[in-house]
């Protein structure tokens, strides 16, 4: 008799850029209070979860050598967390997680969090769990601060550690050029550097987020460009001084504004429109200030199933 095995589930998940990232003081639990506006971008990872007798993680694509293919991988931790939430045996997961990366590793664009969000959606579909997106969001928040946002996508205001989300109205597709640095930056190291700089009396903190929310609602990229801000940028530049040159080169190439994405070191440049983004990308790629560039747009949806094969597959029984 043939055994019925569910087909692999592939989920596509976006990257993110922080349009506004206000960082509060260090809390007793080791985190900082944040006030941030996320936007999901069209630069994506694909994550496939499949039934397998040889469980584990495979990583391919952008920066794959720097991503752990072990149980420390955030996507694997997400699958395990969902299994525990659903009452399944998390110590006997007969699944394989295959990650195809387009998002830079340790680049400040939530690449690891994106993979975790995708793994949650894929595993829930593979196991045919009766679980809504809000319940999945609660699981996501236990894995990482950015995981809930990339699960939902769009544009959102995040508070707390960034995991408490309120959707933000946008009336425009915004066009970005992303400059990938030649190495990554550790998020804890960047936050630690910010704490050190503040202890020395520098740098100034971002102001209120409301003007940026109004700019998003207006749909005017020029207005938005003048309001982009990131409290972590000074710390990222302190650790990676060459980012000053990258930020300057992007604006000189014609971008409306440039900003370090999250904890960096990826830099994101807002452009007037799609044609302007292509021109800025071409000039920036020849400036020798980064490893490579990508063009992206946002906002885009969050993690979503993209595999079409939903019928169970019969398999030949063992002899």
Catalytic residue, candidates 16, 45, 46, 231: 16
**Whole-number Å distance between alpha carbons of 39 and 150:** 9
List, in order, residues 6 or more apart from 269 with CB less than 8 Å away: 176, 177, 178, 179, 250, 251, 253, 255, 256, 257, 258, 259, 280, 284
Nearest of 156, 147, 149, 117 to residue 37 by alpha carbon: 156
Catalytic residue, candidates 45, 46, 115, 146: 146
Would you call 16 a catalytic residue per the annotation?
yes
**Whole-number Å distance between alpha carbons of 56 and 116:** 14
pLDDT tens, the chain, 319 aa long: 456 788 999 999 999 999 999 999 888 888 899 999 999 999 999 999 999 999 999 999 988 888 988 889 999 999 999 999 999 998 889 999 999 999 998 889 999 999 999 999 999 999 999 998 899 999 999 999 999 999 999 999 999 999 999 999 898 999 999 999 988 999 999 999 999 999 999 888 999 999 999 999 999 999 999 999 999 999 999 999 999 999 999 999 999 999 999 999 999 999 999 999 999 999 999 999 999 999 999 999 999 999 755 444 444 444 4
Interhelix angle 133-141/111-126, nearest 10 degrees? 130
- Name the residue with tokens 């930056």: 185
DSSP category for residue 172: S
Per-residue model confidence as pLDDT tens digits over 142-178: 999 999 999 999 999 999 999 999 999 898 999 999 9
Q: What percent of the chain has pLDDT over 90?
A: 82
Would you call 94 a catalytic residue per the annotation?
no
Which three-class secondary structure state does DSSP give residue 214?
Answer: helix
**Whole-number Å distance between alpha carbons of 319 and 316:** 9
- The pLDDT score that the predictor gives to residue 238 is 97
Nearest of 286, 283, 254 to residue 269 by alpha carbon: 254
């Amino acid at each position: 008799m043939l055994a019925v095995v569910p087909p692999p589930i592939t989920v596509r998940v976006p990257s993110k850029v922080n349009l506004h990232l206000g960082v509060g003081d260090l809390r007793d639990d080791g985190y900082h209070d944040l006030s941030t506006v996320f936007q999901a971008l069209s630069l994506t990872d694909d994550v496939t979860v499949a039934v397998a007798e040889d469980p584990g993680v495979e990583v391919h694509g952008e920066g794959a050598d720097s991503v752990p293919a072990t149980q420390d991988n955030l996507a694997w931790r997400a699958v395990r967390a969902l299994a525990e939430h659903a009452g399944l045996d998390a110590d006997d997961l007969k699944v394989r997680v295959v990650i195809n990366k387009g998002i830079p590793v340790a680049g400040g664009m939530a690449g690891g969090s994106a993979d975790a969000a995708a793994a949650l959606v894929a595993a829930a579909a593979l196991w045919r769990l009766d679980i809504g997106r809000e319940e999945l969001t609660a699981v996501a928040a236990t894995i990482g601060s950015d995981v809930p946002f990339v699960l939902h996508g769009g544009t959102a205001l995040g508070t707390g550690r960034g995991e408490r989300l309120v959707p933000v109205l946008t009336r425009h597709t915004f066009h970005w050029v992303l400059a990938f640095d030649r190495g990554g930056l550790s998020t804890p190291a960047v936050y630690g550097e910010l704490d050190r700089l503040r202890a020395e009396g520098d740098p100034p903190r971002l102001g209120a987020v409301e003007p940026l929310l109004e700019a998003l609602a207006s749909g005017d990229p020029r207005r938005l460009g003048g309001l982009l801000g990131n409290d972590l940028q000074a710390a990222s530049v302190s650790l990676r001084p060459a980012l000053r040159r990258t930020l300057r080169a992007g604006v000189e190439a014609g971008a409306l504004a440039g900003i370090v994405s999250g904890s960096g070191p990826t830099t994101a440049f807002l452009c007037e429109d799609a044609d302007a983004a292509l021109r800025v990308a071409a000039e920036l790629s020849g400036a020798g200030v980064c490893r490579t560039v990508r063009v992206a747009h946002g906002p885009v949806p969050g993690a979503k199933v993209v595999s079409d094969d939903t019928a169970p597959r019969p398999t030949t029984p063992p002899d």
